[in-house]
Amino acid sequence: MKAFFKRYRVFLLLIFINIVIGLALPDIGLKSLSLTKQNFIEMISVIPPIFILLGLLDVWVDRATMMKYTGKGSGLKGVLIAFLLGSVAAGPLYAAFPIAGIMLKKGSSLFNVFIFIGAWSTTKIPMLTFEAASLGLTFTLTRLALSIIGILIIAVTAEKALNLEQQKKIYELNQ
């Protein structure tokens, strides 16, 4: 029981805070409950297909193939594959992290996983087409170029900031 409370302490604290707010300020409490319901419905509609795709990725793509194309030493090819995977993906950013975990489990380099997460968060193709139609092609291409540079800088910085022991621990957590 103690382990349960320790593991879910933030969640339980938020429930407690919402109850207190709901009792003290009923209008805000109802709005909070409504938003929680909407977010829950969104997550329930997104997470099952992602876990199905994760299972398929885990079964269909063997470790040697993933290491060959996105592992250490894959070079520009690995970066392009990670970038393309992130750019064609659909769904919110929280859906990228389980996929990143599978990539790590299959032997992808941390650098390419960082590229994948960065691409997922900023360069999705549907978002780019909407942006080009709404804000213009010049703006979209400028933002895309700056995003790519930013993703590369962040990936290099994040990988260099982790020592070998920390990198090893990240891989162990995904085995």
Read off the tokens for 66: 């993933």
Read off the tokens for 16: 């407690």
pTM above 0.85, yes or no: no
Identify whether the C-beta of residue 103 lies closer than 8 Å to the C-beta of residue 66: yes
Domains of the chain by residue range:
1-47, 61-173
Structure confidence by residue, pLDDT tens digits, 75-112: 999 999 999 999 988 778 888 898 899 999 988 999 99
Structure confidence by residue, pLDDT tens digits, 121-153: 999 888 898 999 999 999 999 999 999 999 999
C-alpha pair distances (Å), 168 with each of 58, 68, 91, 163 = 21, 19, 29, 9
Identify whether the C-beta of residue 72 lies closer than 8 Å to the C-beta of residue 159: no
